[in-house]
Amino acid sequence: MSPEELAEVSSVGGFFALRVGHGGAPYVPLASLYAGETEPLTARVDMVAARLRAPERRAAASIAHLGLSARLWSIALGPAVLHGAVADLAPERLHWDGARTSPDDLLLAPGGTSREVTADLLLSAVLDAHLLPLAEAIRRDTPVSAGLLRGNAASALAGAVRELHGWARKSGRPEAAERALALGGELFAHPGLAGTGTLLPGPAFRRRSCCLYYRCPGGGLCGDCVFERPPRPPAP
């Protein structure tokens, strides 16, 4: 993708920004996390737990997972919707520093770009190559429900589609807004995401699980939460 295309995608929001460059400490290839080098992921969960004052580690692990899932969907969907392009996001080429926030957390090694955008290509690039092994890495660090993490992956996708749709409409790009909705619908039909929630007009999404953010002090419920009100904490 050209610098101009990357700049336009970045203008959607920080989660959509993708910087190109060579890794090196403190950045690590995401492939190394998936292969078992989970120390950087553990450090990220520790950081989230401290910031949110999470009363249990699985809540922090869920929020850390949700944030990285949102980044991965965003950097794939943004170029696909706005420019008909998908960068080669192979885990060994995408480097991450969990101590940084977007857009400084990710670096992509220079490489190829596909100009043939399909839902299958995006599912392979994000769900298969990243989100499935990321969920396994999270669960090696902290016992978290696999269903909850599938819900996080779906919530992150819905959020990226919603942001793209809104940006495109405000920017006078109705065709891109429609493309975001159409592509999102195809992605949600995949067995790996089907059943995680309900797509609503708007676009909006209502998930069938909870990310546990409400368990953190002052957390409350997310806009797509399965709950209408925060559940009562278990009796001591």
Distance spanning both ends of the chain, measured CA to CA: 55
> 60-114, pLDDT tens digit by residue?
999 999 999 999 999 999 999 999 999 999 999 999 999 999 989 999 998 888 8
Confidence of residue 10 (pLDDT cuts 50, 70, 90): very high
* Residues belonging to the chain: 236
Higher pLDDT, 28 or 235: 28
| CA-to-CA dists, residue 81 to 50, 191, 211, angstroms | 36, 22, 27
Number of other CB atoms surrounding residue 100 within 10 Å: 12
Confidence of residue 233 (pLDDT cuts 50, 70, 90): low
- What is the pLDDT of the chain when averaged over all its residues? 92
- Any idea what DSSP says for residue 204? E
pLDDT value at 236 more than 60? no
> 139-195, pLDDT tens digit by residue?
999 999 999 999 999 999 999 999 999 999 999 999 999 999 999 999 998 988 988
| Residue 94 exposure: Cα atoms within 13 Å on the Cβ side | 22
* Helix, strand, or coil (residue 88): coil
Q: What percent of the chain has pLDDT over 70?
A: 98
pLDDT value at 234 more than 60? no
pLDDT value at 222 more than 70? yes
Contacts 24+ apart (CB under 8 A), 174-180: 176/81, 176/82, 179/81, 180/77, 180/81
Of the candidates 192, 191, 195, 188, the residue with the CA atom closest to the CA atom of residue 209? 195
- Contact indicator for 109, 93 with CB cutoff of 8 Å: yes
